[in-house]
Amino acid sequence: MTRALSLKTLPQDLPAGVVVFLVAIPLCLGISLASGAPPLSGLIAGIVGGIVVSLFSGSSLSVSGPAAGLTVIVLGAVEQIGLSGLFMATVLAGAMQLVFGFLRLGKIGAFVPSAVIKGMLAAIGLILILNQIPLALGLSQDSDASLLDIEALMKGLSPVALVIAAVTLAILISWEQPFMPAAIKRFPGPLMAVLVAIAMDRLALSAGWPGALDAGQRISLPGLGGPGDFIGQLQLPVLNALLEPQVYMTAVTLALVASLETLLSLEAVDKIDPLKRHSPPHRELKAQGIGNMVSGLVGGLPITAVIVRSSANVQAGGRTRLASFVHGILLLCSVAFVASALEFIPLACLAAVLIHTGYKLARPATILAHYHQGWQRFVPFAVTVIAIMVTNLLQGVIIGFLCGLYFLVRANYHSSVSFTRHDRYALLRFHTDVSFLNRDKVRYYLDEIADGSHLIIDAREAGFIDPDIQEDIDNFVYSSHERDIVVELKQVNGMTASYPALRNSSSDRDREAIPIAEPGRA
């Protein structure tokens, strides 16, 4: 299924792996935070995505790990079925992805309207932003204050946390601007933001500033003093979770959404690959399935291929899967040996990183672009966003998909058949395949044909005509002589012929419907 990693590209892949590792640490921790899961679960998912998925993936540059696009599902799962239930759902989702891969369903992303997918990502972005604002203001992770609870937000407000979040956002935004020198941008923006946030927190603490952060406002990784402690904290899923129906629903949701996000990321990374390589989608689904099964078995969050870390890999000069593997090894070493250093990271900084990620998913330019593309694109996009915000991710995507399907059917209904008439001449043209959905319109047009007319039915652009519509055409042709109508067929199910009507004549030839062109097969 896979070929061994080669060390030939180590001079390019090693520094790229280091860069991806530096970008991944704040994202793994931040996504855990947004998902309501322990920080260690996010780091485990990053380790599995880097080491395990890289061994089986067919993508040279894609990087896998915990994804912001799954935070809504994971957060709901943690609240409903607990961590052990989530881990079991992750294992089941991985098994489903493995089956998807063997069934060669890597093209399923092509059947979901892009407006629905982008609406899903935009909704996730908005939810990320709304959920992280309290942490950016300085509230602890255990606080249940909502954005509507202004009194609780003001009571828990920490000026130091607010400044850290603001500076973090400023750094992340500046790193994407063209005025920033390329030499500086080689250093990962998220890592720079984390280092500056730690320095600000230490300064506030040493100077005794009012509102300085306490332990509850920083990352907590208790009991990780070495490799033995790390192995001891790995959590196995509980078999009793298999008795809960919600576990299976969560697994299906995770499998579908994670597969879609992986395939989208895979396509995006292939487009920016300097060597223009093509990643096999079926094989990637198998690799993601194995990765999710392993991640769930050891207490990690669900994983997907992720575009932010993959883009960092490309920009850093990565060449093969070895770069992603190196990033996974470095994550493992950091958790096993220097976990205490990660506890210096303020939650406000990670919240700002996620707010920035959420903004990029739901940026106003995306909304305006869909609006300018017309209602058939904007309405499914907007419906998906609203439905996800009101219900949940899976239901919202299904509602958005049905809305997109409605516009597809509507467009096909209006554009597949056209009818024009001039004096006694009429043209019924099929511009594409016609199905039973077009039967009512075809019948209406046939009923509009006046006695004594000359009708041309042109199906040269239709590869398929529904048998019900073909039956209606046959019945019309059969009875056309009774109304003195001439019917000319052009490639109607392969038939090209003309049927003259009965005339008031004593000639036997005029009393028969005689084909004046030899039947031809398309």
> pLDDT (tens digit, 9 = 90+) per residue, 150-173?
777 777 788 888 999 999 999 989
What is the C-alpha separation between 265 and 263, in angstroms, rounded? 5
What single-letter DSSP state applies at residue 434?
B
Q: Could you tell me if 275 and 59 are in contact, meaning their C-beta atoms sit under 8 angstroms apart?
A: no
Flag whether pLDDT at 506 surpasses 60: no
Mean pLDDT estimate for the chain: 84
Look at residue 507 in the predicted model and tell me its pLDDT: 37
- Percent of the chain predicted with pLDDT > 70: 92
Look at residue 182 in the predicted model and tell me its pLDDT: 80
Q: Could you tell me if 46 and 24 are in contact, meaning their C-beta atoms sit under 8 angstroms apart?
A: yes
Q: Could you tell me if 66 and 303 are in contact, meaning their C-beta atoms sit under 8 angstroms apart?
A: yes
What is the CB neighbour count within 10 angstroms for residue 509? 9
Look at residue 505 in the predicted model and tell me its pLDDT: 36
To which H or E segment does residue 5 belong? none
Per-residue confidence band for 509, with pLDDT thresholds at 50, 70 and 90: very low
Number of H helices, E strands in the chain: 20, 7
Look at residue 142 in the predicted model and tell me its pLDDT: 63
What is the C-alpha separation between 273 and 307, in angstroms, rounded? 12
Read off the pLDDT of each residue in 417-446 and give the average, rounded to a whole number.
87
Look at residue 299 in the predicted model and tell me its pLDDT: 93
Q: What is the 3-state secondary structure (H, E, C) of 448-508?
A: CCCCCCEEEEECCCCCCECHHHHHHHHHHHHHHHHHCCEEEEEEECCEEEEECCCCCCCCC
For the record, the structure tokens of 425 come out as: 């001449």
Per-residue confidence band for 9, with pLDDT thresholds at 50, 70 and 90: confident
What is the C-alpha separation between 506 and 83, in angstroms, rounded? 90
Q: Could you tell me if 477 and 500 are in contact, meaning their C-beta atoms sit under 8 angstroms apart?
A: no
Look at residue 143 in the predicted model and tell me its pLDDT: 66
Q: Which of 176-185, 319-328, 479-488 has the highest mean pLDDT?
A: 319-328
Flag whether pLDDT at 40 surpasses 60: yes
Flag whether pLDDT at 2 surpasses 70: no
> pLDDT (tens digit, 9 = 90+) per residue, 14-32?
888 888 888 888 889 889 9
* Coil, helix or strand at residue 396: helix
- Percent of the chain predicted with pLDDT > 90: 30
Read off the pLDDT of each residue in 400-412 and give the average, rounded to a whole number.
81
Q: How many CA atoms, within 13 angstroms, populate the side-chain half-sphere of residue 244?
A: 21
Per-residue confidence band for 144, with pLDDT thresholds at 50, 70 and 90: low
What is the C-alpha separation between 140 and 213, in angstroms, rounded? 10
Flag whether pLDDT at 367 surpasses 60: yes
Read off the pLDDT of each residue in 168-180 and give the average, rounded to a whole number.
88
Tokens 């040493």 — which residue? 206
Flag whether pLDDT at 137 surpasses 90: no
For the record, the structure tokens of 66 come out as: 């915990």
Q: What is the 3-state secondary structure (H, E, C) of 332-348?
A: HHHHHHCHHHHCCCEHH
Look at residue 4 in the predicted model and tell me its pLDDT: 64
Per-residue confidence band for 78, with pLDDT thresholds at 50, 70 and 90: very high
Q: At what angle do helices 364-372 and 114-136 cross, to 10 degrees?
A: 150
Q: Which of 132-136, 236-240, 268-272, 495-499 has the lowest mean pLDDT?
A: 495-499
Q: Comparing C-alpha atoms, which of 449, 469, 450 is closest to residue 459? A: 469
Q: Which of 54-63, 85-94, 112-121, 196-205 has the highest mean pLDDT?
A: 85-94
Look at residue 220 in the predicted model and tell me its pLDDT: 83
251 backbone φψ class: left, alpha, beta (φ>0; ψ -120 to 50): alpha
What is the C-alpha separation between 86 and 298, in angstroms, rounded? 12
What single-letter DSSP state applies at residue 110?
G
> pLDDT (tens digit, 9 = 90+) per residue, 262-281?
988 888 788 778 888 888 99
Read off the pLDDT of each residue in 409-423 and give the average, rounded to a whole number.
79
For the record, the structure tokens of 437 come out as: 């959905």
Look at residue 3 in the predicted model and tell me its pLDDT: 60
Single pTM value for the model: 0.71
